[in-house]
Structure 1
Amino acid sequence: MAPGPTDLDLIDRKIVAELMRDATLPIARIADRVGLSQTPCWKRIQKLDATGVLTGRVALADPLRLGFGITVFVGIEAPDHSPQWRNDFAAAIEKIPEVMETYRMAGDIDYLLRVSVGSMEAFDQFYRQLTDMVPIKNVTSTFAMERIKYTTAYPIDTTHR
């Protein structure tokens, strides 16, 4: 069973917070910041990896500098809720790299996608590709005008035991 938030002690939470801020930090610096020596710190990081608390280490990139200046939140209403449609939909969105995130929702829409594209033409191609791959009852697209706050780091408590 994967550890829950209460299974992580203060040191583990501090290590995770440091890695979420900057995964390129040397072990020595992380160890110093969390109050450990290098070997115990490395062992804790290995345990956090093995238990699935840490799911990967990546470099974050500026979407504008990569030509993905348009962020679109796409609401999908499913034509039905059969396992077959859900599987087909999941397979379709896995094949479309512009889909950055997908959530199954409660409420008026069934799925919410965050899509990154470089132009309206690219969004139209995405839309056509998706709707050719799987039947959809309704699609609602909302275009972001400005990204005001963005983070990949969860606000974990690093002050209390």
Structure 2
Amino acid sequence: MVEIDALDRKILGELQRNADLSLEDLGARVNLSRNACWRRIRQLQEAGVIRKRVALLDGDKLGLGLSVFIQIRTANHAPGWLDKFARATQDLPEVLGAYRMTGDLDYLIRARVADMADYDRLYQALISRVELSDVSASFVMEELKDTTELPL
């Protein structure tokens, strides 16, 4: 864990809400000079606290209106299988996140697709790449909260 102080937390909080802020605007919000903000941001990037800056897109407006969580169970837990599964999830652009889980579920995939037919194409692509024992899906009916902001 990297040690960060209260000013770093303020900077990170502002950047999580809007990474487009100019250094001048950011400095005004956290009461630091432009150069001091730049140095702190650079240090946070070098430490790996800030991994990258991205644009958050609206899936509905881009024709990707269906969010799906895919639950996977497998009988195979060999390292080679896991590598193949990881590559399959990384190669499928509809997959936004893939997680190895504790409990009854082995893996959970978060994906965004256009519709049910598009989900079926994703499902077929996944099972053609890697052997799975059980696959089920839950479709999001309403997004109550969806954020990338970490609690600081």
TM over 0.5: yes
**Do residues 126 (structure 1) and 119 (structure 2) align?**
no
CA distance in 2, matches of 1:103, 1:35: 39
Q: Secondary structure at the match of 2:13?
A: helix
1:79 touches 1:135 (CA, 8 Å); kept in 2?
Answer: no
2:146 aligned residue:
150
The count of aligned residue pairs is 152
Q: Is 1:21 matched with 2:17? A: yes
Partner of 2:106: 110
Deviations 1:82-101 (A, max 9, x none): 10110010011111000001
1:60 matched to 2:56? The reply is: yes
Which residue is equivalent to 2:72?
76
Q: Distance in 2 between matches of 1:38 and 1:92?
A: 43
Q: Using the TM superposition, give the Cα deviation of residue 35 of structure 1 relative to its aligned residue in structure 2, in angstroms.
A: 1.3
Which of 133, 138, 143 is equivalent to 2:134? Answer: 138
| Paired AA for residue 74 in structure 2 | A
Q: Give CA-to-partner distance per residue, 1:8-66, whole Å, 9 cap, x none.
A: 00000110000000000000111111111111110000111111000111111111001
Give the alignment's TM-score, normalised by structure 2: 0.98
Task: Tell me by how many angstroms 1:153 deviates.
Answer: 0.6
Deviation at 1:79, TM superposition (A): 2.1
Runs of 4 or more, structure 1, over 2 Å off, are none
Match of 1:101 in 2: 97
Look up the equivalent residue of 2:130 and give its one-letter code. Answer: V
Kindly provide the CA deviation profile for residues 100-150 of structure 1, in whole angstroms up to 9, marking residues without a partner as x. Answer: 011110011111011100011110010011001000010010011011111
SS at match of 2:27: helix
The one-letter code of the counterpart of 1:145 is M
Q: Mind listing any 5+ residue stretches in structure 2 that lack a counterpart?
A: none
Identity level (%): 42
| RMSD of aligned Cα (Å) | 0.8
| Residue 49 of structure 1: aligned partner | 45
